[in-house]
Structure 1
């Protein structure tokens, strides 16, 4: 991960979690009231979890010990999933499973070391078998497109930071009730894993330089 990106994020990360939780809460509540036909998947529970989205993200942040960039990348993965699977809406019955799965995948892709599926299952309050199933469902849902370019990362990070500032200064955020979180960000075609302008490439170059 580029050090110039990582250091400022360390300072604002708790507030980024707050902004993400608020945005995801608004999206899930909006989709709860949509009358359009919605498909049911393994991400949907029978009842709404009692833990709030913010508390759930804070729990993951406390115990997963993944890099700060993973949460931005997880948000990008969620956006990609919704764009590719428009009938599998993120709502109050599915948002928690979507969150833990997207963070798991981003940690595996971004970090040199991360906890296994069994540990993430415990953090997320689900079984290891369900965690394994959700991981596969999510991967197929986004077409295994895990690579994120630096420009895309910066766009999402800037957006979340702006929403954080608005939440702090105005105590309110506005979210468009659409199927996508931030459609205008994904203007470039998705790159493959060999793309030079990727977060993982920058991260690997840093590790090689240190070696």
Structure 2
């Protein structure tokens, strides 16, 4: 939550960061297991990288280190490792982004439907807001 609250990046950076993490998991396959500790660091680095790649204005590494409660030296090392693991492949095609956001929207709708306890008035699906999608992302 700190990353989302204090990161100061555009909403699309969050989605692109998750796309980066999905790519990384695909590249590393079974060699990566996500824990609450390494997911936070990976999400921090992925979000920082997405902000640098997409946004005109973004925070310095010093600020990101503070947000993630890391030492600057460790953050810089993690950033470099992340870029090499990603093979510097940071471009996200529009169709890839749209498909990813659509899948998150479906997930958010599914969670909304399950929470409704099959109340008939809730059978009409609402289009999820940014907050709905963000909560689905944080659950990811």
Question: Above 0.5 in TM-score?
Answer: yes
> Which deviates more, 89-98 or 149-158?
89-98
Q: Show the counterpart of 2:50.
A: 106
Where does the alignment leave 5 or more consecutive residues of structure 1 unmatched? 1-57, 172-211
Q: Show the counterpart of 2:2.
A: 59
Bigger RCO of structures 1 and 2 (CA < 8 A, at least 6 apart): 1
Q: Show the counterpart of 2:25.
A: 82
Where does the alignment leave 5 or more consecutive residues of structure 2 unmatched? 116-140
Aligned length: 114
Q: Show the counterpart of 1:68.
A: 11
TM normalised by structure 2 equals 0.78
Aligned runs of 1:35-184 on 2, under 5 Å? 58-86=1-29, 87-171=31-115
Structure 1 CA distance, aligned partners of 2:32 and 2:82? Answer: 11
Structure 1 stretches of 4+ with a deviation exceeding 3 A read none
TM normalised by structure 1 equals 0.52
Whichever structure has more helix as a proportion of its residues is 2
